[in-house]
Amino acid sequence: MKILIAKDAGYCFGVRDAVNLAYDTANEKGDVYMLGTIVHNERVIENLDKAGAKVVEKIEQVPDGKTLLFRAHGTAPELWKEAKKKSINLVDGTCPLVTEIHHEIKALEKEGRKTIIIGDHGHDEVVAIAAQVEKPIIISNIDEAKKMRRLKRAGIVSQSTQMIENVQEIINILMQKVYDLRFINTICFPTRRNHEQIKELAVQCDVMIVIGSYTSANSKRLTQLSLERNKRSYQVTSSSELKKEMFDNCNSVGISAGASTPDEIIKEVVNDFIFIDEPIGKDLDQRNYIVSNSKIEQTGFIPQVSLKSGIKELIKGFSMIRNNYHGNV
């Protein structure tokens, strides 16, 4: 069975930095408190808790003299003000690309535009973006866009993990409802890159596996994009959710993972696939082939992937497959 792993599956740099910051702060301070989950992955939160990074729901739950870490999704200005009134240390783990969205939406408001956010209602990132301005309109789908009243001037930003297809469909509708409309594309580069990679993998492979928490908007969108192109697409949170019947009549499997999925879970899923080799001695398959590329080269065919690139892909795959009872790498 051929296994293809998306080049940039897993942590984006913003999540990786926030998680590392939580670990470093816990090691330095002994205890660190996080206002809500720092990322949407249960394994990560559990491991952070063991390391001394605790989740709280309210700032008042943080003891005096302790450290509060604001999460990657961003935080409302009112919460920053409330936290600064307490005798606690503050650490900002906000993704810099999310911070940029905060700047952009405030700039649109200063231009006298009604602010519109394309994003999921109630999502932590969207809540924090909305808190930066006065009474923004939040639109999650085309049905909501069709119901929006007409406006003279408006400015649009989007949740960083939105699908470009959803954003484009909504904007096409809003262009008919707003006389002077300005759109700033705030879908982050890691999201755009991961979306393009899974679109390619989904059509190349018989089965697609997306690894990520069911609370992760990014993971759910990857699964949606994959399902639109390959009906044999499955989202799992860990290797324990893989079922044998998923891979019936399957010769190739594509694997991707949400931006909040750590490398350790990706490796566990990859390692769960069984690689069969023959015992030392006589190979049961005695066929022998001498392979030549001369005929295809005579047609003028030029490979799109170089030998060097192929070797790099193999190295990445081998690095994720440990040598165990079921492995021969």
Residue in this structure with the two tokens 């795959």, named with its chain if needed: 317
Residue in this structure with the two tokens 């994003």, named with its chain if needed: 119
Question: Under a CB-based contact definition with an 8 Å cutoff, are residues 261 and 9 in contact?
Answer: yes
Dist CA 80 CA 198 (whole Å): 37
Question: Under a CB-based contact definition with an 8 Å cutoff, are residues 158 and 146 in contact?
Answer: no
Q: Output the six-digit token pair for 297.
A: 């080269």
- Cα dihedral 231, 237, 238, 244, rounded to 10, equals -30
Catalytic, out of 42, 104, 125, 200? 125
For this structure, is 125 an active site residue?
yes
Nearest to 20 by CA among 262, 301, 276: 262
HEC-encoded secondary structure of 184-252: CCCCCHHHHHHHHHHHHHHHHCCEEEEECCCCCHHHHHHHHHHHHHCCCEEEECCHHHCCHHHHCCCCE
Helices (H) and strands (E) in the chain, counts: 12, 12
The catalytic residues are 125
